[in-house]
Amino acid sequence: MPILCADIPRLPGLESICLVAGLRGSQISVRWPYVAEDETLGPWLRGGELIFVTGINQRRSEQNLQQLMREAVEHKAAGIVVLTGSEFIRSIPTSVKALANELGFALFEQPYSLPMVQVTEVISNAIVQDNLIGQSTRLFLTRLINGYADTPELIHLRAADLGLSDTRPYAVLALRLKGFSQRLSRDDPADQWKFIHERALLGEQLTELLMRRGIDWPVLEYEQDLLAIWPTTAAHSPALSEELTQALERLRPDLEVFAGVSDLQPGLSTIAKAAEQARHAVQFAVQQDQALFFYDQLGIARLFDAIPQRSVLAQFCQQQLGSLCFARDPRSTMLKETLTQFMNYFGNQQQAAESLGIHRNTLSHRLKRIEQLIDCPLNDPFARLNLQSALLIEQILFQHHNIES
């Protein structure tokens, strides 16, 4: 797990460092130690630094310490350590501690007698070792998700070597930002970069969310999705749904996120299946414009998903949908969405038109065009059943193509 602010006094040799304020911020991870030598911090911070304030090269007044703390919070530093002693900063002012509590920002006190070279060496070594273990953990889990075959016993031993507890049942959670693929396909590099940055922020928030819940599994990137292992004792029930809904509400409200959840799994030997289920579920969450979607909600789609002969499914889709089958151009996508809404409302044109935000006459014209393309009347209930199945199968085949490509 990442080195947190709360871990600093627990590192060997750093027991004399004390957390004196800002307990709420003690669960922030430390990226690197930084010794502040200038009057301000802003130009030198990149986020995640544990800042050490010595007062040796710069006189630190009460107002300056408050300023440093506000700058540290603004630039998303991890925390501040103030060195105290008889020569420079005698003690941490009460107002600075109060500000740390107000901002929820970790504030530590370190005696001058503890050499800074020892402190930075211990922290740096701990961070490097954690990064190496983290990379090994990600590699291990990524190989499993990609179908790396091994016996459950060996997988369990490897997880134990990495400090991962795989004794609890878990579900895999897949998160996807709305419009991810479309934004990446645009020609505007600035827009692409912005969206990649947003997903990175989402990954950081998801990591912090897992850490707050005591879950020591890393967040993985898999094509357009972020994957998280969610240990739980609850089956796929309203209790788990409520738990995940509340957890996801803690993520950034300005990012529209869809989540898919796999079936409950007993061990890591089935994680590849769970990851695929979660990605199927998030795909349907996007299609249904539903924030959270469980794999077991797919119903009959799970039967289609279990059919190994994909060519048979593709042939059925082509027979039912004609030229619309597998078409992704804007007009075909619009017609298939129109057809989906028309069938979702059991052929009620008024309700379907309202759900699409179009006039009923526009809907009527679209339906006639669809009938021409599929060469089938839409007033036949059996034809509508076949069309619904074909649209469902098409999305499953699209998802399989994305996973396998």
Which tens digit of pLDDT belongs to each residue from 77-122? 999 999 999 888 999 999 999 999 999 999 999 999 999 999 999 9
- pLDDT for 72: 93
pTM summary value: 0.54
Question: CA 183, CA 241: separation in Å to the nearest integer?
Answer: 29
- From the CA atom positions of the chain, what is the Rg in Å? 27
Among 236-245, 360-369, 370-379, 387-396, name the one with the lowest average pLDDT: 236-245
Cβ partners under 8 Å of residue 165, min gap 6 = 159, 216, 231
- pLDDT for 3: 84
Question: CA 172, CA 279: separation in Å to the nearest integer?
Answer: 9
Residue located via tokens 């998030």: 282
Report the candidate in 334, 330, 332, 362 with the shortest Cα–Cα distance to residue 349.
Answer: 362
What token pair was written down for 89? 């900063």
Which tens digit of pLDDT belongs to each residue from 176-221? 987 655 555 555 666 666 767 777 778 888 888 887 777 778 888 8
Whether residue 405 has pLDDT greater than 50: no
Q: Across residues 166-172, what is the average pLDDT?
A: 82
